[in-house]
Chains A and B, each alone.
Chain A
Amino acid sequence: MNIVQLSDSALVSLYISGNENAFELLVNRHKNKVYTTILLIVKDTETAEDLLQDTFIKAIHTMKSGRYNEEGKFSSWICRIAHNLAIDYFRKEKRNPMINIEDNGNIFNTLSFSEESIEALQIKEETHDRLRELIQQLPEAQKEVLIMRHYADMSFQEIAETTGVSINTALGRMRYALINLRKKMTNPQIYDKNLYSE
């Protein structure tokens, strides 16, 4: 079978047995989700790149030392490492804030190549920028569930266990997050933070 078609679990096994190509495939499969998870928390591209490296280095050592637990999905596992590192960084940063003069303004300021027109790209980027701003404005509990489910690829059951709430609370938070974002995107004037605060 072609290595590209293998499951994450099979790639992990191959990597542990010494196949570096398997690791490259795993990294390329999951780098965007892991990176976005981190970026939404730390809001700084340089820091996100550093933490992405730290995340994969931690994963490398865990897998190479035989401590990788086969249970659960690789994507959830790697995103959980990323999430924890980003939260640790965010907490430290809150205690010792630093201003990065090279990365002020838009945190998602790199445009990737596309065949779309410049105008279409601009509109798309503006919409995405606005959505990212709105995510940052969500109540903390909603933002946490949204990042874990959307970018860390965790199930609602896993989120409930990680955050110490019931699955219904996690689902409710996600629903409010989606409703809040949708309302704010379609009609900024009618957004009522108190109404959807859980």
Chain B
Amino acid sequence: MIKTFTQNELVQYVYNELNGKAKTQLETALLQDQHLAEQCAELLIAKANLEQLEKGPREKTISAILSYSKNLSLQH
């Protein structure tokens, strides 16, 4: 019998926080339950979009941080 999954477990799966047996059971359920698979796909797409948003600081800022650390080390 296929285990029924909550929406929250689906979120845990999408963020790789569902472990061991529960993860395997969910993956089995995804193969057999089209509605669940569609819901999972929607969450995965939204997550993937968010991952592309990451931005980086200027090189100047990073240099300042590294210099600060080096100067602090020299003082001790």
Contacts and interface: CB of A to CB of B under 8 A. Distances in A.
Given A149-B15, A181-B46, A57 B65 contact: yes
Interface in B10-59: 10-12, 15, 17, 42-43, 45-47, 49-58
Interface residues of B, number: 33
Nearest to A169: B8
Given A146-B50, A179-B42, A20 B69 contact: yes
A151 B11 contact: no
Interface string B55-76: 1111001101110111011001
Contact of A23 (B8, B50, B66, B76): B66
B65 A56 contact: yes
Contacts of B11: 156, 171, 174-175, 178
Interface residues of A, number: 44
Contacts of A49: 57-58, 61
Interface string A49-90: 100110011001000100000000000000000000000000
Nearest to A38: B57
A31 B53 contact: no
A162 interface: no
A181 B54 contact: no
A110 B45 CA distance: 25
Given A35-B55, A36-B54, A182-B46, A171 B12 contact: yes
A181 B53 contact: no
A23 B55 contact: no
Interface of B: 7-8, 10-12, 15, 17, 42-43, 45-47, 49-58, 61-62, 64-66, 68-70, 72-73, 76
12 contacts: A20-B66, A20-B73, A28-B62, A31-B62, A32-B55, A32-B56, A39-B55, A49-B58, A60-B65, A108-B55, A168-B8, A181-B49
